[in-house]
Each structure stands twice: as C-alpha cells, then as structure tokens.
C-alpha cells in the first residue's frame, strides 16, 4: 500500500508531528478569540491556554506509550553503514 506521507518523512518523526501540534494550537487560539470576540471575560477564554497545554502533554504521553509498544525498526543496512 502506498504511503500518504511524502518520501523521507516517517509517521514517527517529530518533523511531522510538531508542525501539526503548532497548527492545532494556533487554530484553537484563533477559534477562541473569534468566538469570544477577544473578550477576556468570556467563559471560553479561560481555556485558551489550558486546552493546548493539555493536548501537548497528552501527545507526549501517547508518543512515549506508542514508542514502548512498537519499538523502532532497525535502519536498512546501507543507512547503517553511512553513519559515523
């Protein structure tokens, strides 16, 4: 089955997940600002930083759990030889 990711990017790579996390954080903050009309007294405004922070913590915990359950495959022989 062909991969949906561009060649050279692994689903385990931080190069993939960090930008996704940054974008999700920015979208959340933008949505809260739009919904609350930038009113800091709005009830949703209290969650503007809490939800992204909790999301990052849960993402890190899930990555560590997945990393323990599915260990990395060893690199191919050619790649192993090219490393110092």
> Do residues 32 and 44 lie in contact, with contact meaning Cβ atoms separated by under 8 Å?
yes
Whole-number Cα distances in Å, 31 to 27, 34, 36, 70, 79: 6, 5, 8, 35, 44
Residue ranges per domain, the chain?
38-69
What pLDDT score was predicted for residue 13? Answer: 75
pLDDT tens-digit series, residues 20-77: 899 999 999 999 999 999 999 999 999 999 999 999 999 889 888 887 887 777 666 6
């Amino acid at each position: 089955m062909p991969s949906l990711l561009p060649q050279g990017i692994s689903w385990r790579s931080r190069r993939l997940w960090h930008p996704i996390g940054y974008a999700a954080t920015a979208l959340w903050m933008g949505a809260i600002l739009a919904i609350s009309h930038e009113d800091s007294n709005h009830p949703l405004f209290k969650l503007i930083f809490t939800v992204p922070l909790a999301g990052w913590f849960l993402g890190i915990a899930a990555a560590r759990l997945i990393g323990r359950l599915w260990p990395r495959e060893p690199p191919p022989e050619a790649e192993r030889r090219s490393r110092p």
